[in-house]
A = this chain, B = another copy of it.
Amino acid sequence: MRAVRNQYLLDEDDVPTHWYNILADLDVSSSDVRRARPAAQPDGDARTADRGSTGANIPLSMYRGSVGTERHVRIPDPVRAQYQRWRPTPLIRAHRLEQALDTPAHIYYKYEGANASGSHKLNSALAQAYYYKKAGVQEITTGTGAGQWGTALSMACHALDLACTVFMVNCSYRQKPYRRVLMELNGARVIPSPSGTTEAGRALLAASPDGDGSVAIANAEALEHARSVTRGAFSVGSGENHVLLHQTVIGEEALLQMESAGEFPDVVIGAMGAGSNFAGLAFPFHREKLRTGAATRLVAVEPEACPKMTRGRYAWDYNDFSGTTPMTKMYTLGHTFVAPGVHAGGLRYHGAAPLVSALYDRGLMEAVAYGQKEVFEAGAFFARTENLIPAPESAHAVKCAVDEAVRAREENRPRVILFNVSGHGLLDLSAYDQYLAGTLEDHVVSDGHIAASLAGLPALDPVGGRP
């Protein structure tokens, strides 16, 4: 092997055959990572079960693997074959970033943005479309923040000949018109949220006609829409156990690639929306830490505008704005929390995935929050040195990695840093334009805002076996 290697590539035969289920390695009561109560809704198809925390009909075959304690869940052959069209994704050694920072740290990043959807979201979209199709579903509806999930789902639905309706958070709909085009190109119907097409949306529009919206609102609308559709289903792109499960292909590949690089990370970093980006990379390293006793730190990075982990509460809450879904236990700012319209739309979700929350609660990972300006500064710096424009979400991980590398220089101690560039920022260049023009704003949320939102947390529901 050459001394200065840039790319750690794998063959398509190396695409993982199994997803990793962290429940096998996490000592939690099952109720902490499952639904709190069944939702009141019509019965679904016989092959589906209303058991996920979304309150939607989740195919049993998809659900089972994500709530059991089987460590390795086999990836269905047709899903793996889809993965093999673009996976394994590259692991890149960021030589130029290291030089620019004059750091003794070795910096690696996994790049998930090279597929057509532009982000890691396609990993779960293809899996979900496969399971829903098998369960007899004909239309999938979803909410999307920055549009990455909606784009991925529209592609997956097109590939499997399923109809697709996407409620897109209004501020992203305005900021990222190209995302809409991408979804429409793949046959999806895209509706800005809050919209006039659902009761939930109409109520919010009446109160605030120019509302930025939120993922929780878009999900509430999508849920309402899905229930009005024959053989329709509501799907989410993060947070749920099964979504985090699907994303573990990222970390499984990264483990192989770090091995071929002859290193093991001292810190693994991912941006934190609801958690699938972070978990996809970090969870397999959790398993490896347990196996080898490595002291690797796992760090989730959230925006100051939506600090669910660093400033939220570990509590039972709803996933959607209308409180229709069953509750799950999570780090949350309250399901009525509407984050300021930062460009990292994918990180504006009010809660953290139950699995990530449990990991955080047990002290098995860390969380850190950054302001929008410093994140874009790091993103632009990375773009210039590594020649890759990170999505605003991914730029959060970049910022954290840069800080770690600077600390390594200050302490004059080498360390191995691994982070996830979950998507490209080519459709977010208007935000970078604002950064260059100096018009980007930070949005720090006040303690009062958070306290008010947390005060609205639901009372515990006696049904569902919660503690």
A residues near B (Cβ < 8 Å) are: 2, 4-7, 9, 11-13, 81, 84-86, 96, 114-118, 155, 158-159, 177-178, 181-182, 184-187, 380, 383-384, 386-389, 426-427, 429-430, 432-433, 436
Contacts and interface: CB of A to CB of B under 8 A. Distances in A.
Contacts of A85: 6-7, 387
A6 B2 contact: no
A187 B384 contact: yes
Contacts of A432: 181, 185
Given A114-B114, A185-B380, A185-B436, 10 more contacts: A6-B84, A7-B86, A85-B387, A116-B389, A117-B387, A158-B384, A181-B429, A181-B430, A181-B432, A182-B389
Contacts of A81: 4
A32 to B, nearest CB: 37
Nearest to A12: B7
Contacts of A159: 96, 387
A297 to B, nearest CB: 28
Contacts of A387: 85-86, 115-117, 155, 159
Contacts of A13: 2
Nearest to A426: B426
A13 B427 CA distance: 32
Contacts of A96: 159
B383 A185 contact: yes
Contacts of A433: 177, 181, 184
A380 B86 CA distance: 19
A182 B5 CA distance: 27
A429 B182 contact: yes
A426 B389 CA distance: 13
Contacts of A429: 177-178, 181-182, 185, 427
Contact of A389 (B12, B184, B185): B185
Contacts of A181: 429-430, 432-433, 436
B384 A186 contact: yes
B9 A11 contact: yes
A432 B384 CA distance: 28
A9 B433 CA distance: 35
Contacts of A427: 426, 429
Given A6-B84, A178-B430, A436 B116 contact: no
A443 to B, nearest CB: 22
Contacts of A11: 9
A383 B380 CA distance: 29
A21 B11 CA distance: 32
